[in-house]
């Protein structure tokens, strides 16, 4: 299970990571949409926490593709400027 730092993954976390892992290049989902698709529509903050705890050494989950419902980028381990740059690059190349 070693993908979360010192944490055991829950079924909800597994679903969240699977959903985020399938977000197409150049596309985004909101934290709320990920929570809804994972079966807990009100758990959007939990989605953010799961993605924050995700081990960045495993690159199969494109966490930067999850944004806030108001369209703002939200948080990112390496800062919002990096997240914005990644999203712009993907959108331009898709």
Q: How far apart are CA 29 and CA 40, in angstroms?
A: 15
Report if residue 26 sits inside a domain: yes
Q: Which domain holds residue 51?
A: 11-93
Report if residue 37 sits inside a domain: yes
Instruction: Domain count for the chain, please give it.
Output: 1
User: Which residue among 17, 20, 43, 63 is the active-site one?
Assistant: 63
63 assigned to active site: yes
- Stated pTM of the model: 0.83
45: domain CATH number is 1.10.10.10
For position 38, what pLDDT does the model report? 97
Q: What is the pLDDT of residues 46-55, one digit of tens each?
A: 999 999 887 6
Q: What is the pLDDT of residues 13-35, one digit of tens each?
A: 999 999 999 999 999 999 999 99
Nearest in space to 64 (alpha carbons), one of 83, 77, 79, 82: 83
Q: How far apart are CA 26 and CA 38, in angstroms?
A: 21
């Amino acid at each position: 299970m070693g993908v979360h730092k010192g944490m055991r993954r829950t079924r909800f976390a597994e679903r969240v990571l699977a959903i985020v892992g399938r977000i197409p290049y150049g596309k985004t989902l909101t934290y709320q949409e990920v929570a809804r698709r994972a079966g807990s529509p009100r758990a959007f903050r939990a989605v953010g926490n799961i993605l924050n705890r995700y081990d960045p050494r495993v690159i199969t989950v494109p966490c930067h593709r999850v944004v806030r419902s108001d369209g703002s980028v939200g948080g990112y381990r390496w800062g919002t400027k990096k997240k914005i740059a990644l999203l712009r690059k993907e959108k331009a190349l898709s």
